[in-house]
Amino acid sequence: MSNITFTMIKPDAVANGHIGKILDQITTAGYQITAMKYIHLTEKTAGEFYAVHSERPFYKDLVSFMVSGPIVAAVLKKENAVADFRTLIGATDPSKAEPGTIRNLYAKSIDANAVHGSDSDENAAIEASFFFSNLERF
């Protein structure tokens, strides 16, 4: 079991002014931020990040959405990071997310769903190194 996960605060949550509240909820839940940056993704970078979904019907819209404004990317450290973070953010579709979860509180739709969270230890490692060099991780 690894102790890191990777997250993004997506363009909708950034545009709606929720960066501070989301980071507060994450750190209150016991996560240490070991890397963080505020960036505007390019189509190429967003397309590569979500390449696993390239055959899905929502892929093009997902990439367009992810480049529609800046995002916050971060690596988070805590015991059982991946599974606990999926619980903290709630279901992909915010209408199905448990009350009090980040998506329940801040997301409006299944596509604009406020945050990303890695789905496995393996993908957490891949996603963290996709965004951050060793010099940017603490």
What is the 8-class DSSP label of residue 55?
Answer: T
Please pick, from the candidates 21, 119, 121, 126, the single residue that binds ligand UDP as defined by CB under 6 A: 119
Please pick, from the candidates 29, 83, 110, 125, the single residue that binds ligand UDP as defined by CB under 6 A: 110
Residue 16 is inside which H or E element, if any? none
Is 53 a catalytic site residue? no
Residue 82 CA to residue 78 CA, distance in Å, equals: 9
Choices 37-45, 76-84, 111-119, 129-137; region in contact with ligand UDP by CB under 6 A: 111-119
Residue 123 CA to residue 126 CA, distance in Å, equals: 5
Give residue number: closest CB to Mg ion.
119
Comparing CA positions, the residue from 73, 71, 81 lying closest to residue 32 is 81
Nearer to Mg ion, 119 or 121 (CB): 119
Nearest distance in Å: CB 38, ligand UDP: 19
Please report, in angstroms and rounded to a whole number, the separation of the first and last CA atoms in the chain. Answer: 20
**Residues in Cβ contact with 30 at an 8 Å cutoff, skipping those fewer than 6 apart:** 78
Of the listed 18, 40, 53, 116, which one is catalytic? Answer: 116
Q: Is 111 in the site for Mg ion (CB under 5 A)?
A: no
Residues that bind ligand UDP (CB under 6 A): 53, 58, 62, 92, 110-111, 113, 116, 119
Active site residue ranges: 116
Residues that bind Mg ion (CB under 5 A): 119
